[in-house]
Amino acid sequence: MNRKLRMGMVGGGQGAFIGGVHRMAAALDNEIDLVCGAFSSSPEKSFASGKKLYLPENRIYGSFEEMIRKEKELSKEIRMDFVSIVTPNHMHFAPAKMALENGFHVICDKPVCFSLEEAEELARIVEQTGLIFALTHNYTAYPMVKQAREMVKTNLLGKIRKVVVEYPQGWLATPLELTGQKQAAWRSDPTRSGIGGSLGDIGTHAANLAEYISSQEISEICADINIFVEGRLLDDDANVLLRFNKGAKGILHCSQISVGEENGLSIRIYGEKGGLEWHQQEPNSLRYRQLDKPLQVLRTGVGDLFEITQAHTRIPAGHPEGYLEAFANIYRNFAFRIKADSSERLVLAETHDFPTIEDGVRGMRFITRAVESGNSEQKWIKLAD
Amino acid sequence: MNRKLRMGMVGGGQGAFIGGVHRMAAALDNEIDLVCGAFSSSPEKSFASGKKLYLPENRIYGSFEEMIRKEKELSKEIRMDFVSIVTPNHMHFAPAKMALENGFHVICDKPVCFSLEEAEELARIVEQTGLIFALTHNYTAYPMVKQAREMVKTNLLGKIRKVVVEYPQGWLATPLELTGQKQAAWRSDPTRSGIGGSLGDIGTHAANLAEYISSQEISEICADINIFVEGRLLDDDANVLLRFNKGAKGILHCSQISVGEENGLSIRIYGEKGGLEWHQQEPNSLRYRQLDKPLQVLRTGVGDLFEITQAHTRIPAGHPEGYLEAFANIYRNFAFRIKADSSERLVLAETHDFPTIEDGVRGMRFITRAVESGNSEQKWIKLAD
Amino acid sequence: MNRKLRMGMVGGGQGAFIGGVHRMAAALDNEIDLVCGAFSSSPEKSFASGKKLYLPENRIYGSFEEMIRKEKELSKEIRMDFVSIVTPNHMHFAPAKMALENGFHVICDKPVCFSLEEAEELARIVEQTGLIFALTHNYTAYPMVKQAREMVKTNLLGKIRKVVVEYPQGWLATPLELTGQKQAAWRSDPTRSGIGGSLGDIGTHAANLAEYISSQEISEICADINIFVEGRLLDDDANVLLRFNKGAKGILHCSQISVGEENGLSIRIYGEKGGLEWHQQEPNSLRYRQLDKPLQVLRTGVGDLFEITQAHTRIPAGHPEGYLEAFANIYRNFAFRIKADSSERLVLAETHDFPTIEDGVRGMRFITRAVESGNSEQKWIKLAD
Amino acid sequence: MNRKLRMGMVGGGQGAFIGGVHRMAAALDNEIDLVCGAFSSSPEKSFASGKKLYLPENRIYGSFEEMIRKEKELSKEIRMDFVSIVTPNHMHFAPAKMALENGFHVICDKPVCFSLEEAEELARIVEQTGLIFALTHNYTAYPMVKQAREMVKTNLLGKIRKVVVEYPQGWLATPLELTGQKQAAWRSDPTRSGIGGSLGDIGTHAANLAEYISSQEISEICADINIFVEGRLLDDDANVLLRFNKGAKGILHCSQISVGEENGLSIRIYGEKGGLEWHQQEPNSLRYRQLDKPLQVLRTGVGDLFEITQAHTRIPAGHPEGYLEAFANIYRNFAFRIKADSSERLVLAETHDFPTIEDGVRGMRFITRAVESGNSEQKWIKLAD
């Protein structure tokens, strides 16, 4: 297949935040065209949004059901290749299921579903259909996160002992959801977000990042889950002790009431021989510590980096790439995978990986168990059953 | 005009660096489609490059002359709206002139031409045709640079006294041009670059940034121009004293032999009441100093920023935007200007500005006078005639 | 009393680290003279050390008992005023007790004793004698830590919600104690350190700092205590969830196996209206975050700082003061307190405070309960009885 | 000589800044006792200052002449060993001359004299007497500056090409001298400061630092010297192009009107193979750049540092040492030199160096030539005759 892929979008109408992110990410690398969308549960809003995106009227739909049905009827030469789902959590499962069952690949925002049960069901559907499913845990797509993972995998750090991952934000330090702010409203609403507040919105990113870099799985947790803003229905802060399956210990904390913090995802990881530190807000740097040696600051584009790092960087050293570029890495890799044949796909899974439905299930399990731990007097809760 | 604009590209074939940047910048905001190109002076290479970009064969051209001629013959519904010129410096003038004279708007990489004379001639052509001409001095398109400029213009700093602008790089610390590295080869070749080496490649960016933020024009310079790498034909380092037309004094230094520096463009500017500091490699922060008050770190997306700052930011605080997003701001603003009617254009020139042919002429004059100063025993050289 | 105070030292002979720190700290402000010492349990070593310090032979003692006994016999005009105790933990109680019971004030390194029981006994002795006792939790003596505490006390941050305090080091990532390194040897030896390893050496500093700045007391903890280096007898890493007595939640982690970390004590604290961040390795800066406002970087010597902040700074802005200066603040304040009459002492306790025996008891309780928690399956352990 | 040295001080009475710095620096390392002083040209103020310093009345003098005369009459067992001169510039020469001519070593604040002529005369006196003379260009006494110098000397950077040294301050951005502020008053008064304002106060530090680290001498300069604050009599800002005697080019700029800057002395130096960067406000770090390798951040106390670096550090990694510790290094080295015999002195000059009268003469020449250049239309002015 030597052509650009065609994307249909579910959600992401005017006023949304993440829809625009997905569209820019999809557009960046000239591999994907947005060809249709059901941008809102309100057909009028969907139509208005689609017009703003210069879509032809006959490719703007009033619902995801209509979109999937009608696109399927179009000829192979013009119908969409995959669906991008950028709705709130409770609206992930249904369009994903329907898309997959009608033969469309799916790329979906995180957390993957409203509940662990939905996620497990979706995993079964993905497996049955054999289609490609990508989850936009975008932070693991930064080149320096790839670099960090490879450094761990090639044993440059020795056996990993400690992981400190955190994700502080401050935007929900006041009851913003009461002001009508759309992002705050659904994220703090259990009927749309699920049982996790900060845990689902950002805690899962942190957990995913920690597992991705460490190549270890979180096996047990002990959580203190907090609601600081009066009247809020979901957690806005969480402090969690971690134990990993290959012996590392650690801490995860996420917060949306840490006044003045923007989007402060960071991770530090220490092994027997070395340590790494990465900050999402300064993503092109990776601090590398070794026993009795000077700190090294690895930078995208400088010196001997792993091939996978270079494969996720577009421009030379000193030209900062950011959030959208990392997000675009997932879209590009997803597109490559779709276009590849099955043997190429195996190679691409190593060199151009992206988060899958399995990461989605793990994320939902993390949310579920963390909330359980927060309500429990039992010290350690196992993450897997 | 309610549609995406259609872009034709000159240059930017395989192996080029800046062509890809322009394409990603053009694609990001869903306002522009690449529809055709003459990507190389070799028709074979142009064709191969266009295929990789998924262009139809009949829109891939063997030369810019062919492209302009044939596109002009196409119907209004499909022909390109503007030309993007991403060739080395000596190949800017001819395609720009021909495009303008055939009714196409132009966006062009910097420095605008091979020589000051060419630039002045091109300025006349732009004026005569009344078409839109944009120059990709991309660094002034960062949101925090817009913020800095507005802070100066609204007198938050008081009368400007001192400007320190610098642009250190290290990639030419060795004779890289002798290894066949394409970027190094043409940049150090006077027949392709013109009379400036580091001065043209990066010194003009620094000068443009200083004038843009300070709202003052450099009026006199005193330069020490150096070639440190043996055998190199153009300057690889320059130290320049600056005097501005409204009383500020300053320093500009640029270098391509500052080992280990990546793309370290930065500026500090001090007025009677306040100071600002901005670093291109950490572009979402702007340091603001006031008399006897704590340093403030202004950040994209945080607090009360000027409207123009917000208009050049896409995503919320803490989601780093970088080089490509700033570059895309120029493409998006250029597209807005083209689509606007003449009264809207006046407003857009304030709210969605971009560098023009006048900046291009000023840049060529800076290069020319700096080289002149470097060869002179006269202390101060006037920039304007 | 208008003269310099006279200090006798217990411990701190050649090869020690903290003894020299205490001496420099005592000397810095021209308020204290070192007049005598029992620098080692070996009289020969004590004598050699004293000679190097230019002490007269008759004021160098073979044991702390001899020092206290003989100094007491000297005339008021020359005998020491107070004792500085800089021995390993198991050698704090005995000299402190004897000094106090013989009328000498005491300044002592932390943790205050070998065990909680000793600390509680020492608290009774301090109370009975009415003498001054200072504990060198030196980190709370940094000017920007004073500033932070005052900002919390004057409600600039609103009600405190979250505290993240950490103290990573990497120097014990390998079994350094097996190489004969003196500092490592006693710190990892339960017969000299007590039951805490990293918890006693650095965890107590972190806990003290958190309570000092937040003006809240840690009330409950949940700890995961680790020994990563094989064969080590005391913890070299700890991750602890915190709950405070006025509603804050938090995290404390300390580590001596975090490869490449030097002495990375830092704290972040978030209230309803603002947040603060301080790093020991960059001690002259305090980051201040507010709702929807730019980050401010408060700096020693710049702008409107609290009086107590200024009273703990010696030199103007931009002249970095460090660890020794903070340490010296405790010695200077201790000297001021000794020289003051009782009404002045009340004022000084506010304006020139230092850690006391109560901080010492709290620190020992923190160590004790944290170790208990680490060995327990009970989730929360109360800090007080 | 196995005893502490005895210091007499000229200047540094109440209200002074640098006098206290010298006293703390002298006290820190237990090598020097302050035994007498003439702290002010007003005998009353001198007496009041001396009392505050706990000096006996008979060692507090009304003038430096009295001090030198009377101390000379005291027995060898108690009289001062050396004089510390901490007065404004115009009061350096006379006490230095008289002290030397009466057999006392001298340590003196910078710039060494009021004029180049005085400095050259003083150099002759130092040579004639054979006594030790130290100049407190304290910034070259930071351990990481020693490290940088050694890295250049051992050719780790290759041939040095470029030096960028700067010293921005903002404290004189307003006419502070009109408010009676003592520090501002004499520094902006040509009858007390000499012909240099910012050039003498801080520009000389920058020039000294550049020569010290690069092991090259500034040979030619081209200066733009500014007075920005209306009515001020001496320069408050200077921008200077530099050429060095072994081929390096560079820039020096100093400023006292750079609003919000504290004491921002920094240097960057680039050779054929590597680059270094050091900031006085973060003095324990030294950034080391190499061709195509990650940036290294060398830190005091970490890894393989040169012996001379370690000899100027007191405490382990991560315990920040600052301005006073660097200043103290000069006092300690000066004391070592005085106590040494002549063969030891040769070794100490390498391992425990400090700035001498020669640095003082060079500094005065730099000020003189820079002012000359600022007033000249000649592009390059030679520094030496």
Sequence-distant (6+) residues with CB within 8 A of B117 are none
- Judging contacts by C-beta atoms under 8 Å, the chain C residues touching residue A251 are 239, 251, 253
DSSP secondary structure string for all residues of B72-94:
HHS-TTTS-SEEEE-S-GGGTHH
- Judging contacts by C-beta atoms under 8 Å, the chain C residues touching residue B295 are 296-297, 299, 302
Last residue of a domain, one of C131, C160, C180: C131
User: Which of C294, C299, C304 minimises the CB distance to B296?
Assistant: C294
pLDDT number for residue B384:
82
- Bridge partners (DSSP) of residue B297 are B287, C295
- Judging contacts by C-beta atoms under 8 Å, the chain A residues touching residue B325 are 322, 324
User: Which of B54, B263, B320 minimises the CB distance to A281?
Assistant: B320
Residues C197 and C285 in one domain: yes
Burial of residue B256 (CB within 10 Å: 0-12, 13-18, 19+) is: buried
Domain hosting A105: range is 5-131
Q: For A2-17, b where at least 16 C-beta lie within 10 A, e where not — what string? A: eebbbbbbbbbbeebe
Contact between chains at A324 and B321 (C-beta distance less than 8 A): yes
Using alpha carbons only, give the angle A58, A63, A67 rounded to the nearest 5 degrees.
Answer: 50
Sequence-distant (6+) residues with CB within 8 A of A245 are A216, A217, A218, A219
- Judging contacts by C-beta atoms under 8 Å, the chain C residues touching residue B288 are 294
Distance from CA of D217 to the nearest CA of B (A): 18
- Judging contacts by C-beta atoms under 8 Å, the chain A residues touching residue B28 are 24, 27-28, 324
Residue B143 has pLDDT above 70, yes or no: yes
Q: Is the ipTM of this complex over 0.90?
A: yes
Which bin fits B260, alpha (ψ -120 to 50), beta or left (φ > 0)?
left
At B16, give phi and psi (nearest 5°).
-75, 160
Residues A238 and A266 in one domain: yes
Question: How many beta-carbon pairs below 8 A join chains A and D?
Answer: 36
Closest by alpha carbon to D5, among D105, D103, D85?
A: D105
8-state DSSP, A78: T
* Residue A68: half-sphere exposure toward Cβ, Cα within 13 Å: 21
- Judging contacts by C-beta atoms under 8 Å, the chain D residues touching residue A299 are 294-295
List, for residues C113-139, the tens digit of each pLDDT value: 999 999 999 999 999 999 999 999 999
Distance from CA of B269 to the nearest CA of C (A): 19
Contact between chains at D378 and B379 (C-beta distance less than 8 A): yes
User: Which of B27, B30, B263 minimises the CB distance to A317?
Assistant: B263
- Judging contacts by C-beta atoms under 8 Å, the chain A residues touching residue C152 are none
Question: Total domain count for chain D?
Answer: 2
Q: Which chains touch B (3 or more CB pairs under 8 A)?
A: A, C, D
SS (H, E, C) chain D: CCCCEEEEEECCCCCCCHHHHHHHHHHCCCCEEEEEEECCCCHHHHHHHHHHCCCCHHHECCCHHHHHHHHHHCCCCCCCCEEEECCCHHHCHHHHHHHHHCCCEEEECCCCCCCHHHHHHHHHHHHHHCCCEEECCHHHHCHHHHHHHHHHHCCCCCCEEEEEEEEECCCCCCCHHHHCCHHHHHHCCHHHHCCCCHHHHHHHHHHHHHHHHHCCCEEEEEEEEECCCCCCCCCCEEEEEEEECCCCEEEEEEECCCCCCCCCCEEEEEECCEEEEEECCCCCEEEEEECCCCEEEEECCCCCCCHHHHCCCCCCCCCCCCHHHHHHHHHHHHHHHHHCCHHHHHHHHHHCCCCCHHHHHHHHHHHHHHHHHHCCCECCEECCC
What gap in Å lies between CA C14 and CA B332, rounded to an integer? 69
In chain B, the largest separation of any two C-alpha atoms, in whole Å, equals 65
Residue of C nearest to D299 (CA): C262
Contact between chains at A296 and D292 (C-beta distance less than 8 A): no
Last residue of a domain, one of B74, B107, B131: B131
pLDDT number for residue D385:
66
Residues D38 and D12 in one domain: yes
What value does the mean pLDDT take over residues B267-276? Answer: 98
Residue of D nearest to B175 (CA): D272
The number of angstroms, rounded, from the C-alpha of B50 to the middle of its chain's C-alpha atoms is 25
Q: Assess if residue A341 is contained within a domain.
A: no
DSSP secondary structure string for all residues of C233-272:
SS-SEEEEEEEETTS-EEEEEEES-STT--S--EEEEEES
The SS3 of residue A375 is coil
Contact between chains at C298 and B299 (C-beta distance less than 8 A): no
Radius of gyration of chain B (CA): 21
What gap in Å lies between CA B339 and CA B4, rounded to an integer? 10
What gap in Å lies between CA D33 and CA D48, rounded to an integer? 19
Contact between chains at A302 and D293 (C-beta distance less than 8 A): yes
Residue A2 has pLDDT above 90, yes or no: no
Distance from CA of B85 to the nearest CA of D (A): 31
Closest by alpha carbon to B289, among B278, B303, B305, B279?
A: B278
Contact between chains at C294 and B299 (C-beta distance less than 8 A): yes
What gap in Å lies between CA B163 and CA A200, rounded to an integer? 47
List, for residues C206-224, the tens digit of each pLDDT value: 999 999 999 999 999 999 9
List, for residues D14-51, the tens digit of each pLDDT value: 877 899 999 999 999 999 999 999 999 999 999 999 99
List, for residues D215-263, the tens digit of each pLDDT value: 999 999 999 999 999 999 999 999 999 999 999 999 999 999 999 999 9
Closest by alpha carbon to D84, among D39, D139, D141?
A: D39
Mutation target vs C (from A179, A219, A259, A288; most C CBs, 10 A cutoff)? A259
C248 contacts C218 by C-beta, under 8 angstroms: no
User: Which of D228, D253, D259 minimises the CB distance to B251?
Assistant: D253
Residues A190 and A251 in one domain: yes
B22 contacts B109 by C-beta, under 8 angstroms: yes
User: Which of B224, B259, B273 minimises the CB distance to D275?
Assistant: B259
List, for residues A278-299, the tens digit of each pLDDT value: 999 999 999 999 999 999 999 9
B284 contacts B321 by C-beta, under 8 angstroms: yes
List, for residues D77-108, the tens digit of each pLDDT value: 999 999 999 999 999 999 999 999 999 999 99
Residue of C nearest to B317 (CA): C292
8-state DSSP, A135: E
Handedness of CA D334, D335, D336, D341 (dihedral sign): positive
What gap in Å lies between CA A104 and CA A6, rounded to an integer? 11
Residue B106 has pLDDT above 90, yes or no: yes
Contact between chains at A380 and C380 (C-beta distance less than 8 A): no
pLDDT number for residue C385:
67
A282 contacts A267 by C-beta, under 8 angstroms: no
pLDDT number for residue C2:
84
What gap in Å lies between CA D251 and CA D270, rounded to an integer? 12
Mean of the per-residue pLDDT values for chain B?
A: 97
User: Which of A292, A294, A304 minimises the CB distance to D297?
Assistant: A294
List, for residues A306-359, the tens digit of each pLDDT value: 999 999 999 999 999 999 999 999 999 999 999 999 899 999 999 999 999 999
Q: Assess if residue D330 is contained within a domain.
A: no
B55 contacts B33 by C-beta, under 8 angstroms: no
Contact between chains at B302 and C292 (C-beta distance less than 8 A): yes
Distance from CA of C335 to the nearest CA of B (A): 32
The SS3 of residue A364 is helix
What gap in Å lies between CA A197 and CA B318, rounded to an integer? 19
What gap in Å lies between CA D298 and CA D288, rounded to an integer? 7
- Judging contacts by C-beta atoms under 8 Å, the chain A residues touching residue D288 are 294
List, for residues B58-102, the tens digit of each pLDDT value: 999 999 999 999 999 999 999 999 999 999 999 999 999 999 999
- Judging contacts by C-beta atoms under 8 Å, the chain C residues touching residue A166 are 164
Q: Which residue has the tokens 């463009």?
A: B265
What gap in Å lies between CA A111 and CA A92, rounded to an integer? 9
At B173, give phi and psi (nearest 5°).
-65, -20
What gap in Å lies between CA D243 and CA A204, rounded to an integer? 57
Residue of C nearest to B294 (CA): C298
User: Which CATH number characterizes residue B209's domain?
Assistant: 3.30.360.10
What gap in Å lies between CA B145 and CA B159, rounded to an integer? 18
Sequence-distant (6+) residues with CB within 8 A of A365 are A116, A383, A384
Residue A1 has pLDDT above 80, yes or no: no
List, for residues B333-385, the tens digit of each pLDDT value: 999 999 999 899 999 999 999 999 999 999 999 999 999 999 999 999 999 86
Residue A14 has pLDDT above 90, yes or no: no
pLDDT number for residue A165:
98
List, for residues B155-180, the tens digit of each pLDDT value: 999 999 999 999 999 999 999 999 98
User: Which CATH number characterizes residue C16's domain?
Assistant: 3.40.50.720
Residues C20 and C65 in one domain: yes
Residues B172 and B123 in one domain: no
What gap in Å lies between CA A360 and CA A355, rounded to an integer? 8
Q: Assess if residue C48 is contained within a domain.
A: yes
What value does the mean pLDDT take over residues D163-184? Answer: 95
- Judging contacts by C-beta atoms under 8 Å, the chain B residues touching residue A325 are 322, 324
Residues D106 and D162 in one domain: no
What gap in Å lies between CA D154 and CA D160, rounded to an integer? 12
Distance from CA of C214 to the nearest CA of A (A): 15
User: Which of D251, D272, D290 minimises the CB distance to B251?
Assistant: D251
In chain D, the largest separation of any two C-alpha atoms, in whole Å, equals 65
Distance from CA of D8 to the nearest CA of B (A): 36
Residue of D nearest to C260 (CA): D302
Residues C119 and C146 in one domain: no
Q: Assess if residue A284 is contained within a domain.
A: yes
Distance from CA of A274 to the nearest CA of C (A): 6
DSSP secondary structure string for all residues of A304-338:
S--HHHHTT--S-TTS---HHHHHHHHHHHHHHHH
- Judging contacts by C-beta atoms under 8 Å, the chain D residues touching residue C29 are 24
Question: How many beta-carbon pairs below 8 A join chains B and D?
Answer: 131
Residue of B nearest to A169 (CA): B318
Q: Assess if residue B343 is contained within a domain.
A: no
Query: Which residues does B contribute to its contact with A (CB < 8 Å)?
Result: 2-4, 17, 20-21, 23-24, 27-30, 34, 53-54, 169, 171, 261-264, 280-284, 299, 301-302, 314-325
Closest by alpha carbon to D278, among D103, D95, D153, D143?
A: D143
Sequence-distant (6+) residues with CB within 8 A of C50 are C36, C37, C39, C57, C59, C60
pLDDT number for residue B385:
66
Distance from CA of A378 to the nearest CA of C (A): 6
Cis peptide before D111 (omega within 30 of 0): yes
pLDDT tens per residue, chain C (385 residues)? Answer: 789 999 999 999 987 789 999 999 999 999 999 999 999 999 999 999 999 999 999 999 999 999 999 999 999 999 999 999 999 999 999 999 999 999 999 999 999 999 999 999 999 999 999 999 999 999 999 999 999 999 999 999 999 999 999 999 999 999 999 998 988 999 999 999 999 999 999 999 999 999 999 999 999 999 999 999 999 999 999 999 999 999 999 999 999 999 999 999 999 999 999 999 999 999 999 999 999 999 999 999 999 999 999 999 999 999 999 999 999 999 999 999 999 998 999 999 999 999 999 999 999 999 999 999 999 999 999 998 6
Q: Which chains touch C (3 or more CB pairs under 8 A)?
A: A, B, D
Distance from CA of D285 to the nearest CA of C (A): 11
Q: Assess if residue C31 is contained within a domain.
A: yes
Mean of the per-residue pLDDT values for chain C?
A: 97
Distance from CA of D291 to the nearest CA of B (A): 6
8-state DSSP, C140: G
Contact between chains at C302 and B296 (C-beta distance less than 8 A): no
What gap in Å lies between CA D100 and CA D96, rounded to an integer? 6
Residues B196 and B312 in one domain: yes
What gap in Å lies between CA B333 and CA B137, rounded to an integer? 13
Q: Assess if residue C384 is contained within a domain.
A: no
- Judging contacts by C-beta atoms under 8 Å, the chain D residues touching residue B243 are 224
Contact between chains at B296 and C292 (C-beta distance less than 8 A): no
pLDDT number for residue D2:
84
Residues D122 and D146 in one domain: no
Residues A149 and A288 in one domain: yes
At B249, give phi and psi (nearest 5°).
-115, 160
Contact between chains at D299 and A296 (C-beta distance less than 8 A): no
Q: Assess if residue A344 is contained within a domain.
A: no
In chain A, the largest separation of any two C-alpha atoms, in whole Å, equals 65
Residues B51 and B145 in one domain: no
Last residue of a domain, one of C75, C97, C131: C131
What value does the mean pLDDT take over residues A86-110? Answer: 97
At C297, give phi and psi (nearest 5°).
-110, 100
Confidence of residue B15 (pLDDT cuts 50, 70, 90): confident
